[in-house]
Amino acid sequence: MNNITFLIKKICCIGAGYVGGPTMSVIAENCPDINVTLVDLDEKKINDWNNSDLNKLPVYEPGLKNLVEKNRNINLFFTTNLNQSISEADIVFISVNTPTKTNGLGSGYASDLKWVESSARTVAKYASGHTIIVEKSTVPVRTAELIKSILSSSCNISEGNNSKTFSVLSSPEFLAEGTAIKDLENPDRVLIGGEDEYAIEQLSLLYQKWIPKNKIFITNVWSSELSKLTANAFLAQRISSINAMSALCEPTGADIKEVSRAIGADSRIGTKFLNAGPGFGGSCFQKDLLNMIYLSRFYGLEEVANYWEQVILLNEWQKKRISKLIIETFYGTVSLKKIGVLGFAFKSNTNDTRESPSISIVNELLENGASVVIHDPKVSEKQISKFFDNEKIGQSNSNFEGRWRYTSDLNLLFKDADAIIILTEWEDYLHIKWKIMSKLMRKPSWLFDTRGIVEEEKLNGSNINFWRVGKGFIKTT
């Protein structure tokens, strides 16, 4: 493999979403001699990527705006023209969505591969010469085989064009939203799973433009696919573990922050992913766990499936116990209460709301008749309105009982509020002057900090009742 020349000149990425957009922006930045084209079926999304107002990009990620501004229309392009981009590409990344199936065989567990399959068919149709296909989407084990079978049948039926050939590699993406650019620029490792030495070397040389060679792991395809699911399962398990302990801390007088610090100092455990919270959200953890549970059952491993399913059940329970606790604090009725929600994204530094714990927690409050006002620095009112239907939830009246409002003004959110709930750990919320803002609230007033970001001293003199995840109710002066 030593004397292979790097031949990649044109890259096409199918799927201009949270993975495709940042990943290709980082490739374009580090490979000025390569033309990178992102294609998507969603015309609005492509228009947003091409918007001259960089605040309107469809994905918010720290650092992304700068990369797009610097490279767009130089060696980074966004288009809906799949045919041309695929036919010109030496390498095609498939970075489309693979959500949990909602009907048919495996419904509720298995990943829906219809977008991967349709991408493979499009590649099969329009590719020319030799094309390397890279699975970037997170997929069940053995999906590469599905892609290969689609591509090889196209080779056989290609209309007189026998020169069309393909290699399929797996190279799952490990970026986390909110730190995507940092993760892509400096990954812990990159996986390349495959058999074709030439294709592996080309992809490896591409990554080596900015990633040290010792961080590029070559594996077989199935190990690569399964490593991705396993990494997410382990991370999610860690959050369910710390959230389980947060619930045990609250009645016993322990503090989850102290427990996290104590166990994290053990180098075998490590310090990361030990923040208790309202439950994990995001488009990956639950979907990938469900997928692994499905695979385990498929292979007859019921105990393995049950083991991983518990991680999801605990996560659901954590969200439920928090909304229940808030409602019970108001003696079981929040119907004439105004509740201010700080944060709707599933974590800070992203505008992504998929599977955000805020969705189910706000929904419970609305169903119990609360009047909810929501603030988020990066999530729009339109985005939030996809989750709740004001006309259907609760009874409408002037107190907007059982309904929700959006505001970008924290003064309006605090005004006459009975309770504030922090659901996303945005930095903006660290700077809230509780002593001043509490004067706007109706007394007695409450703060529920589900992210553990407010220091107790900051509430001194505020006269707010305080609850923090993993500590419980805290007396403030």
* Residue 346 engages ligand UDX in binding (rule: CB under 6 A): yes
The torsion angles phi and psi of 433, rounded to 5 degrees, stand at -90, 95
The torsion angles phi and psi of 137, rounded to 5 degrees, stand at -60, 150
Subset of residues 93 to 122 that bind ligand NAD, contact rule: CB under 6 A: 95-98, 115, 118-119
Please count the residues of the chain: 477
| Six token digits for residue 214 | 């010792």
Please enumerate in sequence order all residues whose Cβ is within 8 A of that of 213, keeping only pairs 6 or more positions apart, or say none.
204
In the complex, minimum distance from the CB of residue 355 to ligand UDX, in angstroms, rounded to a whole number:
8
* Residue 232 engages ligand UDX in binding (rule: CB under 6 A): yes
Residues 191-210, buried b or exposed e (16+ Cβ, 10 A)? bbbbeeeebbbbbbbbbeee
Spell out where 414-454 has E strands: 419-422, 445-449
In the complex, minimum distance from the CB of residue 8 to ligand UDX, in angstroms, rounded to a whole number:
24
Subset of residues 3 to 62 that bind ligand UDX, contact rule: CB under 6 A: none
Please report, to the nearest 10 degrees, the dihedral formed by the alpha carbons of residues 281, 287, 292, 295 taken in order. Answer: 160
Q: Which segment (3-11, 190-198, 272-280, 460-468) binds ligand UDX by CB under 6 A?
A: 272-280
Interaction mask 71-90, ligand NAD, x per CB under 6 A = --------------------
Please enumerate in sequence order all residues whose Cβ is within 8 A of that of 252, keeping only pairs 6 or more positions apart, or say none.
none
* Residue 394 engages ligand UDX in binding (rule: CB under 6 A): no
Q: Which segment (18-26, 162-170, 369-377, 444-452) binds ligand NAD by CB under 6 A?
A: 18-26
* Residue 131 engages ligand NAD in binding (rule: CB under 6 A): no
Residue type, 188: D
Spacing of C-alpha 21 from chain mean position: 14
The interface partner of residue 20, options being ligand UDX, ligand NAD, none and the CB cut-off 5 to 8 Å by kind, is: ligand NAD
Q: Which segment (91-99, 299-307, 420-428, 457-465) binds ligand NAD by CB under 6 A?
A: 91-99
Burial of 456 (0-12, 13-18, 19+ CB in 10 A): middle
In the complex, minimum distance from the CB of residue 391 to ligand NAD, in angstroms, rounded to a whole number:
28
Whether 116 contacts 149, CB under 8 Å: no
Subset of residues 37 to 66 that bind ligand NAD, contact rule: CB under 6 A: 39-42, 45
User: Of the candidates 354, 161, 321, 295, which has an alpha carbon nearest to the alpha carbon of residue 240?
Assistant: 321
The interface partner of residue 137, options being ligand UDX, ligand NAD, none and the CB cut-off 5 to 8 Å by kind, is: ligand NAD
In the complex, minimum distance from the CB of residue 23 to ligand UDX, in angstroms, rounded to a whole number:
11
| Six token digits for residue 385 | 């309105």
The torsion angles phi and psi of 167, rounded to 5 degrees, stand at -125, 140
Residue with Cβ nearer ligand NAD (16 or 410): 16
Subset of residues 68 to 107 that bind ligand UDX, contact rule: CB under 6 A: none
Residues 113-134, buried b or exposed e (16+ Cβ, 10 A)? bebbeebbebbbebbeeebbbb
Query: Angle at CA 80, nearest 5°, toward 75 and 83?
Result: 90
Residue with Cβ nearer ligand UDX (37 or 237): 237
Whether 374 contacts 344, CB under 8 Å: yes
Q: Which segment (8-16, 194-202, 291-299, 369-377) binds ligand NAD by CB under 6 A?
A: 8-16
* Residue 137 engages ligand NAD in binding (rule: CB under 6 A): yes
Whether 265 contacts 271, CB under 8 Å: yes
Subset of residues 21 to 40 that bind ligand NAD, contact rule: CB under 6 A: 39-40
The interface partner of residue 472, options being ligand NAD, ligand UDX, none and the CB cut-off 5 to 8 Å by kind, is: none
Q: Which segment (127-135, 274-282, 303-311, 380-388) binds ligand UDX by CB under 6 A?
A: 274-282
Burial of 376 (0-12, 13-18, 19+ CB in 10 A): buried
Instruction: Give dist(CA 336, CA 339) in Å, integer.
Output: 10
The interface partner of residue 119, options being ligand NAD, ligand UDX, none and the CB cut-off 5 to 8 Å by kind, is: ligand NAD
- Applying CB under 6 A, which of residues 15, 140, 281, 357 lies at the interface with ligand NAD? 15
Report strand pairing: 464-468 vs 472-474.
antiparallel
Report the 10 Å Cβ neighbour count for 152: 14
Residue with Cβ nearer ligand UDX (34 or 192): 192
Subset of residues 174 to 193 that bind ligand UDX, contact rule: CB under 6 A: 174-177
Whether 23 contacts 13, CB under 8 Å: yes
Query: Angle at CA 474, nearest 5°, toward 472 and 477?
Result: 170
* Residue 274 engages ligand UDX in binding (rule: CB under 6 A): yes
In the complex, minimum distance from the CB of residue 280 to ligand UDX, in angstroms, rounded to a whole number:
4
Q: Which segment (8-16, 153-161, 185-193, 276-284) binds ligand UDX by CB under 6 A?
A: 276-284
Known catalytic membership, residue 284: yes
Instruction: Give dist(CA 444, CA 10) in Å, integer.
Output: 63
The interface partner of residue 311, options being ligand UDX, ligand NAD, none and the CB cut-off 5 to 8 Å by kind, is: none
Residue with Cβ nearer ligand NAD (47 or 397): 47
Which residues of the shown chain bind ligand NAD in the complex (CB under 6 A)? 14-20, 39-42, 45, 95-98, 115, 118-119, 137-138, 173, 175, 177, 283-284
Catalytic residue ranges? 284
Residues that bind ligand UDX (CB under 6 A): 173-177, 232, 235, 239, 273-275, 277, 280-282, 284-285, 346-347
